[in-house]
Amino acid sequence: MRPFDGRRVLLVVSGGIAAYKSAILARRLIEAGASVDVILTESAERFVGAVTFEGITARPVHTSVWDRPMAHLELGKRADVAVVAPATAETLARLAWGRADDLATTTLLAADCPVVLAPAMNTRMWEHAATIRNVQFLQRNGATIVGPGVGPLAEREVGAGRMSEPPEILAAVGRAIASGSALAGRHVVVTAGPTRAPIDPVRFIGNRSSGRMGYALAAAAWRRGAEVTLVTGPGHAVRPPGPATFEVETAGEMLAAVEKALTAADILIMAAAVSDFEAVEIAGSKIKKTTGGELDLKLAPAPDILSRTLGARRERGVFTLGFALETDDALENGRRKLERKGLQLIAINDATDPQSGFDVATNRVSLLDEAGNLEEMPVLSKEELADRLLDRVEGVLET
Ligand SMILES: Cc1cc2nc3c(=O)[nH]c(=O)nc-3n(C[C@H](O)[C@H](O)[C@H](O)COP(=O)(O)O)c2cc1C
């Protein structure tokens, strides 16, 4: 299932430069399965045209209380969640003061769904006492505030006030309506990325994991309302907003971080590509080239996180989803790993398949559970796969 299947989202766009990003937000919401109703304020129409949103949402865009009588009540009533992006200083002020002087504010005053606000404005406007008061009031009354971020603003200024990027807003919108998810309120620990095994102060043995699969899982779990701890090695993919993220380098550091996180965990998802081996001795200074000489590197097994945490996971009843990246005999090796490492689910992928594995946007896995049920999944983007995997985790948690 896509994260917003069957969900109705009311997107209110007010008049700031960031309104162009709201078209991308609308597109992302639709791709995630939502049906999206858009309200543009009068000022917003000066920044983006209704046609753009009509094209993206395939629905009429609403701009005035006078277009269709009672639209202000209908739109709020049928929405599962409302998101205001960008939320200008003016719109925040009008919402905080309970004004109902246009379609956007009237609808939001009448709506009883969760509201997510994505402010965007100049830093001085954002830091003004009046805006601070308005935002605090709205927050105290249950609105979720996402962002704003720090970065380049209009007029070549840099500072706080930049609207959060669409994926961050999308995650906050999902989280605002996540109460029906079996993951809501549970603590999920996700490992991601590669680990590095240093051999001297400047070199290491690593692997090509980008972290993308684990980050997609952490983002999806967060969007479903879980408390998420992400323990990641130095993957180059963009870290997801939301989860509490701990950066580690070696397998030993990852083990320590996971052991700590497990004390409060309900679910562990081991998507990291942890080195199997590490140097027996790490040279104190850079290993020099010797003329024509070969280098003998003595390796020993690196800490095996799943084996080392087996006792703690069993004791706490932590549901564990593992990954097995195999180059040959994938299924049989995966089956053995599930049993040996005390996993409830294992996603097995074949590293030799170009559409799956390290550093590609897609993945194809075979999902095996404890009872021996095997589900062959199609090639999916890592984001789609993350949702499919969490659907399975939720399915098991609900039984
Ligand atoms: C070029 C331009 C850019 C603007 N950008 C912003 C902005 O990013 N944030 C903001 O709060 N107001 C911004 N404003 C001011 C708002 O458009 C103005 O306060 C307007 O009344 C907001 O109305 P609305 O909230 O009903 O859309 C901008 C104005 C102009 C002319």
Question: At 317, which CATH number?
Answer: 3.40.50.10300
**54 and 186 assigned to the same domain:** no
Residue nearest to atom 11 of ligand 1 (CA): 88
Q: How far apart are CA 253 and CA 299, in angstroms?
A: 18
Whether 348 lines ligand 1, by a CB cut-off of 6 Å, is no
Same domain, 222 and 332: yes
- The secondary structure element, H or E, covering residue 383 is helix 382-398
CATH number of the domain residue 137 falls in: 3.40.50.1950
Whether 148 lines ligand 1, by a CB cut-off of 6 Å, is no
225 in the same domain as 271? yes
- Please check whether residues 155 and 268 belong to one and the same domain: no
Residue 86 covered by a domain: yes
Residue after which a domain boundary falls, among 145, 178, 211: 178
**Catalytic site residue from 122, 134, 141, 207:** 207
- Answer yes or no: do 105 and 247 share one domain: no
For ligand 1, pick from 40, 43, 97 the residue to mutate: most ligand atoms within 8 Å of CB. Answer: 43
| Cβ–Cβ < 8 Å for 220, 387 | yes
- Do 195 and 170 belong together in one domain? no
Ligand 1 center to 88 CA (angstroms): 6
Instruction: Decide: 91 in ligand 1 pocket, CB within 6 A.
Output: yes
31 part of a folded domain:
yes
Q: Which atom of ligand 1 is nearest to the CA of 104?
A: 26
Contacts for 37 with CB less than 8 Å, ≥ 6 apart = 8, 9, 10, 11, 57, 59, 62, 75, 78, 79
- Over its length of 399 residues, how does the chain's per-residue pLDDT go in tens digits? 778 888 999 999 999 999 999 999 999 999 999 999 999 999 999 999 999 999 999 999 999 999 888 888 889 999 999 999 999 999 999 999 999 999 999 999 999 999 999 999 999 999 999 999 999 999 999 999 999 998 877 777 788 899 999 999 999 999 998 877 889 889 999 999 999 999 999 999 999 899 999 999 999 999 999 999 999 999 999 999 889 999 999 999 999 999 999 999 999 999 999 999 999 999 999 988 876 778 889 999 999 999 999 999 999 999 999 998 877 777 888 889 999 999 999 999 877 777 666 667 788 899 999 988 889 999 999 999 999 999 999 988 877
Residue 210 has a pLDDT of: 92
Of ligand 1's listed atoms, the one at least distance from the Cα of 102 is 26
**Does 81 reside within a domain?**
yes
Nearest-10 Cα torsion for 234, 236, 240, 246 = 10
Q: Are residues 47 and 187 in the same domain?
A: no
Identify the CA nearest to 163 among candidates 319, 372, 13, 55.
13
Please provide the size of the chain in residues.
Answer: 399
Burial letters 293-324, b for 16+ CB under 10 A, else e: eeeeeeeeebbebbeebbeebeeeebbbbbbb
Is the separation of the CB atoms in 223 and 171 below 8 Å? yes
CB-ligand 1 contact for 103 (6 Å cutoff)? no
**Residue that is last in its domain, among 178, 208, 226:** 178
Of the candidates 89, 92, 81, 13, the one whose C-alpha atom is nearest the C-alpha of residue 53 is 13
Question: How many domains is the chain built from?
Answer: 2
CA 286 to centroid of ligand 1, rounded, Å = 57
- End of a domain among 151, 178, 205? 178
Residues 308 and 371 grouped into a single domain: yes
Q: Is residue 2 in some structural domain?
A: no
Residue 159 lies in a domain: yes
Whether residue 133 sits in one domain with residue 97: yes
Query: In this structure, are 276 and 323 located in the same domain?
Result: yes
Q: Is the pTM of this model over 0.85?
A: no
Q: Is the CB of 15 under 6 A from ligand 1?
A: yes
* Same domain (yes/no): 173, 227: no
45 CB within 6 A, ligand 1: no
Residue 128 lies in a domain: yes
Task: Name 36's bridge partners.
Answer: 9
Shared domain for 224 and 328, answered yes or no, is yes
Is residue 312 situated within a structural domain?
yes
Tell how far the Cα of 238 is from the centroid of ligand 1, in angstroms.
30
207 a catalytic residue: yes
Which protein residue has the closest C-alpha to ligand 1 atom 22?
A: 15
| Structural domain boundaries enclosing 160 | 8-178
The whole-number pLDDT of residue 159 equals 84
106 lines ligand 1 (CB under 6 A): no
Does residue 25 sit within a domain?
yes
Q: How many CB atoms lie within 10 A of CB 132?
A: 11
H or E stretch including 123?
helix 123-126
Residue with CA nearest ligand 1 atom 6? 16
| Bridge partners (DSSP) listed for residue 284 | none
- Which pLDDT does position 358 carry in this prediction? 66
41 lines ligand 1 (CB under 6 A): yes
